[in-house]
């Protein structure tokens, strides 16, 4: 993926991505630096903390069980990154729980993956990554 593609994704973030970015940007979460729509190899991560090797993905229902996501996560893990995924509706409706889980993930480098905290919730509607009202 190219840097220009990543820049275009920054301009078209979903409501869920905007909400999470508002809480992650400018070192707002415990002073930790995150980047949004960052290029890692041939992929673009929704959010990444390079210092802690943590990738955060915010997904719509179309990501439910996709083989391409599994392969992508495997490649990122081979590069030393941990991947934490949240559904759009988790970020929109349980923002504080999502942030707590992210803090847990960055605080415990010995834990290779904190596991999905909220994945029992149903994914967002499959009509896309979410709505963009910006």
Assess if residue 130 is contained within a domain. Answer: no
**Could you write out the three-class secondary structure of 52-82?**
CCEEEEEECHHHCCCHHHHHHHHHHHHCCCE
pTM: 0.75
How many residues belong to the chain? 134
Assess if residue 26 is contained within a domain. Answer: yes
Assess if residue 133 is contained within a domain. Answer: no
For position 7, which CATH number holds?
3.40.960.10
The boundaries of the domain holding residue 69 are 3-107
Number of domains in the chain: 1
pLDDT digits (tens, 9 = 90+) for 90-120: 999 999 999 999 999 998 765 544 444 454 5
pLDDT digits (tens, 9 = 90+) for 41-91: 999 999 999 999 999 999 886 545 567 888 999 999 999 999 999 999 999
Assess if residue 116 is contained within a domain. Answer: no
């Amino acid at each position: 993926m190219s840097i220009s593609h990543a820049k275009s994704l920054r301009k078209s973030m979903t409501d869920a991505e905007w909400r999470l970015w508002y809480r992650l940007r400018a070192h707002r979460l415990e002073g930790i630096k995150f980047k949004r729509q960052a290029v890692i190899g041939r992929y673009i991560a929704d959010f990444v903390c390079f210092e802690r090797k943590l990738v955060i993905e915010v997904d719509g229902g179309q990501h439910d069980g996709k083989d391409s996501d599994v392969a992508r996560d495997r490649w990122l893990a081979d590069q030393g990154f941990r991947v934490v995924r949240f559904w759009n509706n988790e970020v929109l409706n349980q923002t504080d729980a999502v942030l707590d889980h992210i803090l847990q993930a960055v605080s415990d480098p010995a834990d290779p993956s904190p596991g999905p905290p909220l994945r029992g919730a149903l994914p967002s509607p499959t009509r896309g990554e979410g709505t963009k009202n910006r």
